[in-house]
Structure 1
Amino acid sequence: MIRSNPTLTAILTRRIVFFAMLAMLVQLAVIFSDYYWNVGELSRLYVEQETERLVSGVGSRDGAVSYRLPEAVGRRYAHPQTGYVARIRDGRGDLIFESCDDACESRFLPAEVNPPDFWLRTIKPGKPLTLVGGRAFNIGEQRIVVDVATLGDPENLASDVFWNEILEHMIVPMSILLGLVLGATLLSVRRALKPVKVAADAAELIDPLDSRSHLPFEGMPREIAHLAVAVNRAVQRIGELMRSQRILTSGIAHEVRTPLAAIKLELGRIDHPRARKAEADLDDLVHFVSQLTGLARLDTFDHSMFEEVDLVVLCTSVAEQLAPWVYENRHSLEVFSHVETAIVRAMPALLKDALRNLVENAVRHTPASTNIIIRVGESGIQVEDRRNDSSCPLQNTEGFGIGLKIVERIAELHDGSLRRSVSLQGHIFDLYLPIVTIR
């Protein structure tokens, strides 16, 4: 469900682009009011841009000046009747290019006059533009003077001038600025959130009962570091609460065991078959209370106490301890190892409890003469019960009691799992554990 939420990068990108577009619209309105309705400023821009287009055709080689009318303005200045005229002279006043008749020539500055770098005169105020103007350029060592005039602006070049001004002085700079701001912002956000990503990964593995488990806040922005510290405190309080609950449950179970032991002692003094039946039921209850105590004690273990454990050695040790009891209950017990060594990071006492529970369940819930096999392999431990009488129906593993719940919880504490399966001869329990070293 969280994947449907937008990332912070996406949110910032949308907002930056939105406000950048809004700023461009505001600036467009300002430029429109400043240029399009300001005929004097629009006339100045027209002279600047049109003279730049015309002077681009000037060439200079070995001191000689040549001219070729640019294609962009060729149609406008092919003859004087288009409504646009131009004249280009060198620094001595010699004519380089002209598209003007005598009447138009009279509107330009006289040839003998040394023109300023820029000049403009409005013939008819307002729009469409009717004006003459000129501008001086330095090409190499030559001074080139370009004069232009428009009579009524029949091609509405004023609009082209306006939109060219927007493109050059608003859209291009704003786009560059937007790219730089957006890139710098996203880069800053990514770098600022990198510690948060590390903390999020750590949060997936956080264990309230592990003293080493916490959210790292080194390198985080101060505001987010405060949140990480608060989360660590909350996790610490949760761990303390869970420990209190486990202690309470363990205490209750321990208190119950004492009167149960007294009752069993009294039943032992009664010589009656019904007393023996009650004594057997009481043994089952004592075993159940013992398992409850073990389950309550599981989550109080600290992962910092884990150590390297050889599963081959551990399984052999547990089998030696349980063998007399297994044989006493008319079952057999075998241990096989497919590897020489299988090292895991674990709490030895917990793994022994898990293996002991699996063997005890096999003994308690299978018929006599069942062969119980413990195998150590590359993925962990396997416990299988094989019946000699295959005609005897298999018991449902759901009735195996709280012992399997204990084993499942121990497997979870070791980042492993417990899987159950059924063969033709009995039940198979695979306790998968993350092997560190195998040989």
Structure 2
Amino acid sequence: MRPRRVIFGLNSLLSRILWWHGVAVVFTAVAVSAGVYLFLDSTADHFQRETLRVHAESARKSLRLGLEGQVQLATSEHLTKLPRTFSLSVMDGGGRRLASSSPTAIVPTDRIPRGGAPTYFKRRSRSAIYSGYSMPVPFAGSTVWVVVVQNLEHPDYIVDDVLRQFFVYGLFIVLPLLLLLLVVDAWIVRRALGPVMDASTLVRTLHRQQLDVRIPEARLPSEVRPLASAVNAALNRVIESYRTQRDFTADAAHELRTPIALARMRVESVSEEALRSALKRDLDQLGRTVSQLLEIAELDGVLPAMDDTIDLRALAAETVSAIAPLVFRRRQSIALTGSETPVVVRGNAEMIARALKGLVENAVTHTPAGTAIEVDVQTNGILSVLDNGPGIKESEQELVFRRFWRGDRTTANSSGLGLAIVSRIAEAHGAKVSLRTRAGETVFAIRFPVQS
């Protein structure tokens, strides 16, 4: 069996699986990175809110009235250790700053919410992003608001930077891992499709002599097994029909031989010479047709061994000598040209001789008297038969190897089987018949693999 090959075509099962899995991998990488990013961002936002609230509570506890009745923030260890990214301030209902840990306002007071409940907020200025916490506090008979603001763009604040870097670098870490998973998946799918590819290779390379070969279903995946079973059933039906047709042809040919032999004997009793000659010609043609039918049935059956070592030059010389009388009776000439040294090929000598004889007979039958026929053997294993007859029409060149096809159906000197037999013999030897024709020249050639 040939080595496994998995075809990566646009319509192949493997390419479709990998394409959709690749889309899923990219989507998963982005989704995982985005999901983790959102989770961490939400967690960081919660911690940030809690941090601001704790600072606001500490500031609320440190509120004091000064000697002149002004609001003050009492110095405490917590306030003195406040990070540089934070600022504290106390505001009244009109937005006036009553006390502050910073001489300048980080966020304009009109953008700070002052509601009846603690409020978390975020603001963006031209140069930075801020988050804050505004807490209403009853103090000295009125309500003031303790406001804690944090600069999120300050170098000391690294949480947002970490989150941004995680999303970028996390994507570049997760995506290669998922792509590696895609490569592993490709290997797994290829392994899984191995039996399917083996089955397709088996079917593709089936020869007409391998009539009993079927797709092995045991190793196939369960999803493909019904298809293989259906193909095997179809092969059974086709081969049964093929065998019935082949057996009918062989049986009919055998049954016709005896009546033809009896008719040949009885035709001798016909007294009229012209009628007797015409009947003999018709019976000879019928006999040739029956013989060719038997040959077709034989070639469609079990072929003989193809391992003879054959000198193509010697076989051609012998065949030309045997058929020369037929050629000369038709007032035609025949010559053997080409290599003067042995040309060694492997196959069945009798079948190759039969193919060569068929090509010569075809040239004799379809060319007029005075035609020159040439049998050529080349050292590269090409066996050719040339004639200088009228040639074959271009529209008919693809049809000449079909069984029972005849270019001129008004004549009864051909059954249309000769070239079909030649083509079948060439196929059995791993060769193919080629045709090159034009007005005044026709060349049939068979190229056999040469043995070194």
TM-score by length of 2: 0.61
Partner of 1:432: 446
Cα deviation, 1:72-122, whole Å, max 9, x if unaligned, reads: xxxxxxxxxx97269xxxxxxxxxxxxxxx948xxxxxxxxxxxxxxxxxx
Partner of 2:19: 14
Any idea what SS the aligned residue of 1:152 has? Answer: strand
Q: Residues 306 and 346 of structure 2 are in contact (CA less than 8 Å); yes or no, is this contact kept in structure 1? A: no
**Which runs of 5 or more residues in structure 1 are unaligned?**
48-81, 87-101, 105-123, 132-149, 388-392
User: 2 CA distance for matches of 1:226 and 1:282?
Assistant: 53
Partner of 1:56: none
Tell me by how many angstroms 1:404 deviates.
Answer: 1.8
Tell me by how many angstroms 1:214 deviates.
Answer: 7.5
Q: Residues 207 and 213 of structure 1 are in contact (CA less than 8 Å); yes or no, is this contact kept in structure 2? A: no
User: 2 CA distance for matches of 1:431 and 1:161?
Assistant: 78
Partner of 1:415: 430
Q: Give the partner amino acid of 1:358.
A: L
Asked if 1:384 corresponds to 2:386, the answer is: yes
Any idea what SS the aligned residue of 2:309 has? Answer: strand
User: 2 CA distance for matches of 1:40 and 1:337?
Assistant: 93
User: 2 CA distance for matches of 1:331 and 1:266?
Assistant: 32
Tell me by how many angstroms 1:191 deviates.
Answer: 4.8
User: 1 CA distance for matches of 2:329 and 2:425?
Assistant: 28
Partner of 2:315: 314
Any idea what SS the aligned residue of 2:151 has? Answer: coil
Distance change (3 Å), C-alpha of 1:258 and 1:334: same
User: 2 CA distance for matches of 1:308 and 1:229?
Assistant: 41
User: 2 CA distance for matches of 1:288 and 1:337?
Assistant: 32
Q: Residues 203 and 215 of structure 1 are in contact (CA less than 8 Å); yes or no, is this contact kept in structure 2? A: yes
User: 1 CA distance for matches of 2:289 and 2:422?
Assistant: 14
Q: Give the partner amino acid of 2:264.
A: K
Identify which range, 311-320 or 321-330, moves more after superposition.
321-330
Distance change (3 Å), C-alpha of 1:41 and 1:339: farther
User: 1 CA distance for matches of 2:226 and 2:450?
Assistant: 37
TM-score by length of 1: 0.62
User: 1 CA distance for matches of 2:281 and 2:101?
Assistant: 131
RMSD, aligned CA: 4.4
Q: Give the partner amino acid of 2:204.
A: E
Distance change (3 Å), C-alpha of 1:247 and 1:339: farther
Cα deviation, 1:284-312, whole Å, max 9, x if unaligned, reads: 22222222222232222438644332211
Tell me by how many angstroms 1:395 deviates.
Answer: 8.1
Distance change (3 Å), C-alpha of 1:9 and 1:45: farther
Cα deviation, 1:149-173, whole Å, max 9, x if unaligned, reads: x8333549765554444445x5344
Partner of 1:78: none
User: 1 CA distance for matches of 2:391 and 2:267?
Assistant: 33
**Which runs of 5 or more residues in structure 2 are unaligned?**
1-6, 53-82, 88-99, 103-117, 123-130, 134-147, 394-399, 401-406, 409-413
Partner of 1:276: 277
Q: Residues 313 and 339 of structure 2 are in contact (CA less than 8 Å); yes or no, is this contact kept in structure 1? A: no
Q: Residues 9 and 15 of structure 2 are in contact (CA less than 8 Å); yes or no, is this contact kept in structure 1? A: no
User: 1 CA distance for matches of 2:238 and 2:350?
Assistant: 25
Q: Residues 210 and 303 of structure 1 are in contact (CA less than 8 Å); yes or no, is this contact kept in structure 2? A: no
Any idea what SS the aligned residue of 1:248 has? Answer: helix
Partner of 2:85: 84
Asked if 1:185 corresponds to 2:185, the answer is: yes
Distance change (3 Å), C-alpha of 1:19 and 1:127: farther
Asked if 1:361 corresponds to 2:362, the answer is: yes
Aligned length: 344
Any idea what SS the aligned residue of 2:341 has? Answer: coil
Distance change (3 Å), C-alpha of 1:371 and 1:275: same
Any idea what SS the aligned residue of 2:11 has? Answer: coil
Q: Residues 419 and 431 of structure 1 are in contact (CA less than 8 Å); yes or no, is this contact kept in structure 2? A: yes
Partner of 2:151: 153
Tell me by how many angstroms 1:215 deviates.
Answer: 7.0
Any idea what SS the aligned residue of 1:270 has? Answer: coil
User: 1 CA distance for matches of 2:171 and 2:354?
Assistant: 73
Q: Residues 382 and 446 of structure 2 are in contact (CA less than 8 Å); yes or no, is this contact kept in structure 1? A: yes
The percentage of counterpart residues that share the same residue type is 27
Cα deviation, 1:254-282, whole Å, max 9, x if unaligned, reads: 21222122122211111112232122122
Q: Residues 214 and 232 of structure 1 are in contact (CA less than 8 Å); yes or no, is this contact kept in structure 2? A: yes
Any idea what SS the aligned residue of 2:451 has? Answer: strand
Q: Residues 20 and 178 of structure 1 are in contact (CA less than 8 Å); yes or no, is this contact kept in structure 2? A: yes
Distance change (3 Å), C-alpha of 1:202 and 1:256: same
User: 1 CA distance for matches of 2:444 and 2:44?
Assistant: 89
Q: Give the partner amino acid of 2:442.
A: I
Q: Residues 39 and 126 of structure 1 are in contact (CA less than 8 Å); yes or no, is this contact kept in structure 2? A: no
User: 2 CA distance for matches of 1:40 and 1:376?
Assistant: 91
Q: Give the partner amino acid of 2:183.
A: G
Partner of 1:110: none
Q: Give the partner amino acid of 1:359.
A: V
